[in-house]
Structure 1
């Protein structure tokens, strides 16, 4: 009996040891992007740390969200010759003001279009030039690189929007997982999976997947435009580094496409259906969670809204605030409704602010969206806010400002769960009209609640999916069996143009032989008839 108890105890201890997260714990080298991207990456590495993995984050000395010290990771801080523009908290405010000014003055003119994209491309090139210096600073620091090699990392977790980490992971020969939606050329599906422009809207073109002929023409032009931008504006910064450190036989774009696994921050209740690949996992909304109780001050304000409830407004983490002339129009519209308003506002205090509006510098957005008294969410169309709205079933009023926000809000409008007001055309009258439509037309809430039901109906939480695939790649030291090698094919071979030309040539030869034979037979028959007549 005593021996049986001892064996049972030994078995339990063995199982406990084998199931402990520390047994398969690995070392993960993380290359994040600051700002809202870091919110997602930080959540993922917290979960990985809780599983027993050792996390090391590469950051720059000017990072404003990515802290040098944290309980769930250690950091490697790199000082760059020039700070990356997006790590300056005023950068996006300045960019937004410039963009709004260009749009107002240029309107729909060709010159306005040229000015808009000249400004955007100048900023884009400068950001990637600054970010590419991270590679130089790390590669030229021999002691740092040796210490990283000596750490024997098992995997690189990279946000490839700024792909310096791709080059460093290649140098260290590490398996690579992307935490991604955007890469250098736009939406990441366009690099990893077939993306027919006949029904897949390209990055920068705010359209649905049901396009007219002229929309498909524009979609193709945007695709060509994006490809040219990537090849001529972005990639040259990294191509020079690849040539310098790896030689001419290594292709930067192949390194980018060669990631073992892509964790896409996408859910198809939001994204339009499109082709995908085996090494893609979908984790859209993985940051969403049930709401927690509010602070006593916020709860008291929310409860004071009575039967009308409250509206939430936030422009995310990148933009401190709209220009005061726009925010004042919004404030004037809010002042005319019976609902309470909680507005995350950091910039200059707007005029026309009503007694029903509470300005806060920070708020628990997820918890407020999950409150039973919330009626609508006014946002800029960032994906974090959109997924939290979907998760809690709260209809949206969109004021897209920059980058992918216009496309995001088109998707929500196509689902019947949001209505958009353009910032440059916003007035208190049209903004108030939009608020009233979303509040009083029940289809917006019912459509969003339907999306919420679809989004929540999953066998595994998206965050667990993300953790599983990261550990999968570590366990198997890569996932080459899931990755197509098609990206290494020449473009003409990928599109089978060589095969088409070959088959056409064969067909032409067969047709020529057939015609030749027929002609030969006709000539012989004619010759025989002629000889008989003679």
Structure 2
């Protein structure tokens, strides 16, 4: 009898296990951007470690097998993007070209990926999944699979919320105080900025539908069948969106329950520095300056005169400098350069005093997490937006690429190194960024399992998802109010006029009698 209590407890525990235990999850990622996949991979690996069966269609298969994690690789079907862009290329990649890339070139990527044998086999299969995870970037070419498998969908965004992502879950997106991804504004905008933000807000939403979604409808029918519903309808089945933002760094904004901020989910502690770098940093009596233009852009494609100018500036500072650049020339004794550097581990070192960055969101988050002040040299996309967000917190200063010179970079270094407020603000912002009830990964895993447990969690969906734009903006109500006001005003006008006419006529009759 003494084991009866134990048996009852085991039975009770087994019967109350969450339904998401051991779920079968399919991750689908057509974009071959490693910086994006770093975020997605954190969640996918975390789910596998929790015991879920995870299958991943993507360009970056694991080099070592991971338990419960199966790659459905499409590696090699698209050109490698990692460390493959020149500075001139990204500088010429204005917002129009960037939108062309997002809406048109990613559609070509979809076409290529959907042709791959592994993906064709998946489309033709009769597999069953408990959840599908996709990326919101360009036209979503994998929502057709979610429709085929009748599976709930969670989407992820590796940046702050993209303007066309909000509509999936009815998330409010007011351009009066929420800056669009494509403008470098803060949440405090003047009239001109609000005007431009509204134009961009409307333009990107319309462009996403007419250029991206409609073209994807045609491509989707090619691969999933003629009975595939329009992409605009498939998007409404999105259960949840994970966004790579956090209110401490990015602007606070209203969100529906179906939008979860998981900024910094890619940050994993515990890595170690290579011995040569660790020694170099340990021996830096005046600290270390770390300089990186990210994983896409090759710093060695900077103009030679710019590289020489930067070397001249760095050679004069008392700090040591770690520079992510492939450089074969002679370096000053205080500079160490390499094609690859362990960024988070370098930023985590107590001797790191300044982070010179292009302003990529994940790198910016790492700088914030580790409490390191930043100098931003934005090159394209959302990088200036990210740096300006950090500037409003007092943890960064900005040097425009066009104005990059010995004077501007020296002034920026002196400002950040000599003004103690930057260090103080950086430490405080780090505390705000870290102060959460759960880590970003724990948060994402909880809500992923929540969607699985509740079979898509339709109760999270806002009614705004089903509203046409004119109803969402209350244009019909405003029109009715204006019509009613005009009608009452017209009636009142004629009524008063009639009364005045009668009164004037009555007075004139009295005058004639007299």
CA offsets 1:438-479 (integer angstroms, 9 cap, x no match): 111111111111101111221111111100000000001112
Which of 132, 143, 148 is equivalent to 2:110? 132
Q: Could you tell me which residue of structure 1 aligns to residue 142 of structure 2?
A: 165
Q: Could you tell me which residue of structure 2 aligns to residue 55 of structure 1?
A: 54
Equivalent positions of 1:190-209 (< 5 A) are: 192-209=170-187
Which of 417, 420, 424 is equivalent to 1:439? 417
Tell whether 2:89 aligns with 1:98. Answer: yes
Which of 426, 449, 453 is equivalent to 2:431? 453
Q: Could you tell me which residue of structure 2 aligns to residue 29 of structure 1?
A: 26
The answer to whether the Cα contact below 8 Å between 1:177 and 1:261 also exists between their aligned partners in 2 is: yes
1:247 CA displacement: 6.2
Give the Cα–Cα distance (whole angstroms) in 1 for the partners of residues 225 and 486 of structure 2.
45
1:328 CA displacement: 3.2
Q: 3-state SS of the aligned residue for 2:57?
A: strand
Q: Could you tell me which residue of structure 1 aligns to residue 153 of structure 2?
A: 176
Give the Cα–Cα distance (whole angstroms) in 2 for the partners of residues 184 and 273 of structure 1.
12
Which structure has more relative contact order (CA 8 Å, sep 6+)? It is 2
Tell whether 2:149 aligns with 1:154. Answer: no
The answer to whether the Cα contact below 8 Å between 1:418 and 1:438 also exists between their aligned partners in 2 is: yes
Deviates more, 1:235-244 or 1:479-488: 235-244
Tell whether 2:72 aligns with 1:76. Answer: yes
Q: Could you tell me which residue of structure 1 aligns to residue 308 of structure 2?
A: 328
The answer to whether the Cα contact below 8 Å between 2:114 and 2:120 also exists between their aligned partners in 1 is: no
Tell whether 2:343 aligns with 1:365. Answer: yes
1:526 CA displacement: 6.2
1:344 CA displacement: 2.3
- 1:119 to 1:450, Cα distance in 2 relative to 1, 3 A: same
Give the Cα–Cα distance (whole angstroms) in 1 for the partners of residues 142 and 120 of structure 2.
17
The answer to whether the Cα contact below 8 Å between 1:184 and 1:234 also exists between their aligned partners in 2 is: no
1:15 CA displacement: 6.0
Tell whether 2:276 aligns with 1:297. Answer: yes
The answer to whether the Cα contact below 8 Å between 2:359 and 2:377 also exists between their aligned partners in 1 is: yes
1:524 CA displacement: 5.5
Q: Which ranges in structure 1 are unaligned for 5 or more consecutive residues?
A: 103-114
CA offsets 1:272-293 (integer angstroms, 9 cap, x no match): 1222111111111123344544
Deviates more, 1:23-32 or 1:386-395: 23-32
Give the Cα–Cα distance (whole angstroms) in 1 for the partners of residues 369 and 98 of structure 2.
33
Q: Could you tell me which residue of structure 1 aligns to residue 244 of structure 2?
A: 265
1:210 CA displacement: 1.5
Q: Which ranges in structure 2 are unaligned for 5 or more consecutive residues?
A: none
1:487 CA displacement: 3.1
1:176 CA displacement: 0.8
Give the Cα–Cα distance (whole angstroms) in 2 for the partners of residues 248 and 161 of structure 1.
25
Q: Could you tell me which residue of structure 1 aligns to residue 356 of structure 2?
A: 378
CA offsets 1:112-137 (integer angstroms, 9 cap, x no match): xxx94554455445422212315753
Give the Cα–Cα distance (whole angstroms) in 1 for the partners of residues 347 and 164 of structure 2.
27
Q: Could you tell me which residue of structure 2 aligns to residue 509 of structure 1?
A: 487
1:239 CA displacement: 3.1
- 1:208 to 1:184, Cα distance in 2 relative to 1, 3 A: closer
Tell whether 2:410 aligns with 1:415. Answer: no
1:142 CA displacement: 6.6
1:57 CA displacement: 0.5
Give the Cα–Cα distance (whole angstroms) in 1 for the partners of residues 410 and 421 of structure 2.
18
- 1:428 to 1:16, Cα distance in 2 relative to 1, 3 A: farther
1:143 CA displacement: 4.7
- 1:426 to 1:19, Cα distance in 2 relative to 1, 3 A: farther
- 1:14 to 1:215, Cα distance in 2 relative to 1, 3 A: same
Q: Could you tell me which residue of structure 2 aligns to residue 111 of structure 1?
A: none
CA offsets 1:374-413 (integer angstroms, 9 cap, x no match): 1111221112211111111111111212211111111111
Give the Cα–Cα distance (whole angstroms) in 1 for the partners of residues 187 and 102 of structure 2.
27
1:68 CA displacement: 8.0
The total of aligned residue pairs comes to 504
1:419 CA displacement: 1.2
Q: Could you tell me which residue of structure 2 aligns to residue 39 of structure 1?
A: 38
1:145 CA displacement: 2.2
Give the Cα–Cα distance (whole angstroms) in 2 for the partners of residues 322 and 478 of structure 1.
47
Q: Could you tell me which residue of structure 1 aligns to residue 470 of structure 2?
A: 492
1:311 CA displacement: 1.6
- 1:23 to 1:130, Cα distance in 2 relative to 1, 3 A: closer
The answer to whether the Cα contact below 8 Å between 1:160 and 1:180 also exists between their aligned partners in 2 is: yes
Q: 3-state SS of the aligned residue for 1:268?
A: coil
The answer to whether the Cα contact below 8 Å between 2:319 and 2:334 also exists between their aligned partners in 1 is: yes
- 1:69 to 1:289, Cα distance in 2 relative to 1, 3 A: closer
The answer to whether the Cα contact below 8 Å between 1:29 and 1:157 also exists between their aligned partners in 2 is: yes
The answer to whether the Cα contact below 8 Å between 2:61 and 2:73 also exists between their aligned partners in 1 is: no
Give the Cα–Cα distance (whole angstroms) in 2 for the partners of residues 186 and 523 of structure 1.
58
